[in-house]
Amino acid sequence: MSGTGRERPLLSGHRAVITGHGEAVPEPFGQEEIWDEVFARDLNGDRVARQIFLRAGITTRHASVDPRRTDVSGWSTGDRMRRYVTDGRKLGRAAVQAALADAGRRPDEIGLFVVVSCTGYATPGLDIMLADELGMDPNVRRLIVGHMGCYAAIPGLNAAADFVRAQGRPALLLCVELTSLHRQRSDDPSDLQTVVSHALFADAAAAVVLEPDSATGLELLHTTATTVPGTEELMTWDVTAHGFRMGLSPKVPDVLAGQVEEATAELVGPFGFTTPDVAGWAVHPGGRRIVEVVAERLRLADPLVAESRDVLDRYGNCSSATVLMVLDRIRRGRALRPGDPVVAMAFGPGLTLCSALLRTAC
């Protein structure tokens, strides 16, 4: 029994190890450039809105639909969903192919294909389309994780790992997010929630391969989830006639900050770890302030959240794909020793904090 009062989860069957990663992004644009060319005009050069854009901790982002060339704000939800299928297939295919190549696996070896997204819907979905295009086995199991938001990669990882442990076969997780399809009209600078969403979000696809009992990679040990009661209205993602509209309260970072210490202790404590033991922190960079408050509450030195800040700076907030992008930079860039623990955490509607404990395979 750990100090958190929770028993260590029982791990049975095969070990589930991340052995491959791939990602794909559309064309880039500069944060200052997009303010100058698009949003300064839409928001009448509002000083507060400009500060939000230029102090977001972002230098470049990527968008499937470049707002400098195409204004989607008047598109119907149907128009946006059709574009989601076209562009999501392209990005998703590239990310999956890169992950499979990194792991040295063929598409027909995958036993479970998990697709995560909160920015588009289609039936048949991207899971069926990409499984067919890539040459996966017709009997591959498929799972769609939809509309959970930025933290959805963690439940997706958990589902994939459970399959690997139970079946002893590889699984593939793909996160595809095209937030640029949901640009809303932004001519009211007092609508700060819309301004913030326009300043932060971007498009990307990220994929990981999990294999049974690999001697190299990151083994997924455990995941947890904490939802804060009474916070449902602080972060929302509503379907409208003109795409999905985000509600994002400025209270979000501080509310989540109040949960981070206890949630982390409950994640790592049952395995005999404490916060200082963790060698890598894949903190979802939902925004600059999110990374700051997590680092403050967990007393993490700046180098420990460098990968989160780097992904935010170069890519923005790509919803569920983002934490996988951070995790890969830790996997490739840090001198991890066998058995070193790594924590991934992401945040989203609920308000919900999802975390994953991994360790370097040994």
Distance CA 35, CA 223 (A): 38
* Residue whose token pair is 């990005």: 91
* Residue whose token pair is 């009062």: 5
Cis upstream peptide for 134 (omega within 30°): no
Distance CA 267, CA 123 (A): 36
**Selection from 28, 156, 173 nearest residue 95 by Cα:** 173
Q: Indicate the SS3 state at residue 13.
A: coil
Half-sphere exposure for 286 (CA within 13 Å, toward CB): 25
Looking at the chain, which residues constitute the CATH 3.40.47.10 domain(s)? Answer: 18-212, 216-360
| pLDDT at residue 190 greater than cutoff 90 | no
Predicted confidence (pLDDT) per residue in 43-90, tens digit: 999 999 999 999 999 999 999 999 999 999 999 999 999 999 999 999
Would you state the torsion angle of the CA atoms of residues 147, 322, 252, 233, taken in this order, to the nearest 10 degrees? -10
| pLDDT at residue 93 greater than cutoff 80 | yes
Identity (one letter) of the amino acid at 310?
D
Q: Which CATH class is domain 216-360?
A: alpha beta
Q: Which two tokens stand for residue 275?
A: 């916060």
Predicted confidence (pLDDT) per residue in 11-55, tens digit: 668 999 999 999 999 999 999 999 999 999 999 999 999 999 999
Helices (H), 186-320: 192-200, 252-268, 288-298, 306-315
Half-sphere exposure for 310 (CA within 13 Å, toward CB): 15
Residue 10's pLDDT is what? 60
Residues with a catalytic annotation lie at: 150
In the chain, the percentage of residues whose pLDDT exceeds 70 is 97
Q: Which two tokens stand for residue 284?
A: 């979802």
Q: Which two tokens stand for residue 219?
A: 């083994």
Q: Count of CB atoms within 10 A of residue 52's CB?
A: 21
Predicted confidence (pLDDT) per residue in 132-181, tens digit: 999 999 999 999 999 999 999 999 999 999 999 999 999 999 999 999 99
- CA 43, 47, 50, 56 torsion-angle sign: negative
**Selection from 92, 76, 116, 121 nearest residue 26 by Cα:** 92
CATH code for residues 18-212:
3.40.47.10
Residue 7's pLDDT is what? 58
Q: Count of CB atoms within 10 A of residue 190's CB?
A: 10
Distance CA 171, CA 140 (A): 10
Residue 1's pLDDT is what? 29
Residue 339's pLDDT is what? 96
